[in-house]
Amino acid sequence: MSAESKIYKKRPHRKVKSGCTTCKRRKVKCDEAKPQCSNCERYAAECIYPALASDREHASASSSTPPLDWAPDSVVDEPPSKPSSGAQGDDLPIRDLSLMHQWTIATCYGFGDEFSGDADPWRDDIPKLAQRFPFLMRGILALSALHLSRGCTDPGTKVKYIRLAAYHQDLALPEYRNTIIDVTRDNVAAVLAFSAIITVHSFAAPKDPGRLFAGGPPEWIFLHRGVGEMPAHWQPWIDSSFMAKQMHRRRLQPVDPTLNPEDHRLVGLRGMLTDLPPEESSEASAYEEALYWLRQAFAHTQNPESRLGPKYGVLFWIEQVPQSYLDLLGVQKPRAMVLVAHLCILLKRASGFWYLEGFAEHVLSEATPYISEEFLPWIEWPLQVCGIV
């Protein structure tokens, strides 16, 4: 039985003759609590009683934020696209169509390198591919909902978009996990596209203060490394797909780190990373390798032939650092945190992307409490670049 068929299994209802319009539409019992019944309160739905229907129309017409054409309770109990015998057009998943519209006019442009002419696979090819792979379609809709939530001034509408994003993402993940077990020529592009979407989703999703490093390496590092080292037999499939240009950074060869005019600042970290007490001497190689790839990430962003901007510089570093370093980061070692603090410089330079706006400051503020006073002088540069001084 699929995830959706489990979620949408019908429950017996009592016939409703009174109550709010949302409960009447769903044919569930309404306790008629005011100003919001318990069903609507549970899912932050708009609770409207018949006498106030005209007020609702007026509020929607005057709102500066486009209203959501959905109710969160219907997301839980009924499939969004289920045909209805109600008013004309009820069989259309209007809220999901609006999310796809958001993807095509705005959200899709947060991906990829620059493309020649008008061709952009994230705008043109990915939506077509998503029609064949529901997990990819749900990933698109989830990310579009998060994008819309960023522009909401109304807290209630913002929460609805965030919950809608979580709903689509939660249904996408099990199918994605099943697909990645058996990657083929047919589905490899969908797998790679969703792996990018899920990383961006982790950047954009609301964050709980004080939790980023509490349970190990940050989620966005774990998720981006999720595909891991791609098997060699994937490469011909990738090369023949529209995702080929997206994956070029995995073939980049080391460059002269001095291409980065600020490389001397990174080289200066060596003293801190190699001057270890005897009980930590075994950690030196992990720090050295992580620093090497950090220097390479910065240098590639300065090398025109690499075609790597600061955002992809961050992803490049995540793909290359050894697991031994991530293990040290997972236990909040101060030196590991110092390197993450310097990665925040690239994150800051990539903050033109909507999902990375303010992200560097968030990561740096979360890492700083784990950096003891003796190591604080080593992060003066990241603090200055990120404006945390």
Q: Where are the domains of the chain?
A: 1-54, 93-251, 253-385
Q: 45-48 long-range CB contacts below 8 Å, 24 or more apart? A: 45/71, 45/72, 45/73, 46/22, 46/71, 46/156, 47/20, 47/22, 48/20, 48/21, 48/22
Nearest to 208 by CA among 44, 49, 46, 362: 362
Cut 0.95: pTM above it: no
Cα–Cα distance measured from residue 118 to residue 111, given in angstroms and rounded to the nearest whole number: 14
Nearest to 353 by CA among 79, 180, 146: 146
Q: Is the torsion defined by CA of 74, 77, 83, 86 positive or negative?
A: negative
Cα–Cα distance measured from residue 32 to residue 124, given in angstroms and rounded to the nearest whole number: 47
| Widest distance between CA atoms in the chain | 76
CATH superfamily of 1-54: Zn(2)-C6 fungal-type DNA-binding domain (4.10.240.10)
Per-residue pLDDT of the chain (389 residues; tens, 9 = 90+): 444 333 334 344 444 457 877 777 666 678 888 777 877 665 556 677 764 434 433 333 333 333 444 434 443 333 444 443 444 444 557 889 999 999 999 999 887 655 444 568 899 999 999 999 999 999 999 999 999 999 899 999 999 999 999 999 999 999 999 999 999 999 999 999 999 999 999 999 998 888 899 888 898 998 888 766 678 898 899 889 888 877 777 788 999 999 999 999 999 999 999 889 999 999 999 999 999 999 999 999 999 998 889 999 999 999 999 999 999 999 999 999 999 999 999 999 999 999 999 999 999 999 999 999 999 999 999 999 999 87
Q: By the 8 A CB rule, do 29 and 19 touch?
A: yes
Residue 90 carries which DSSP code?
T
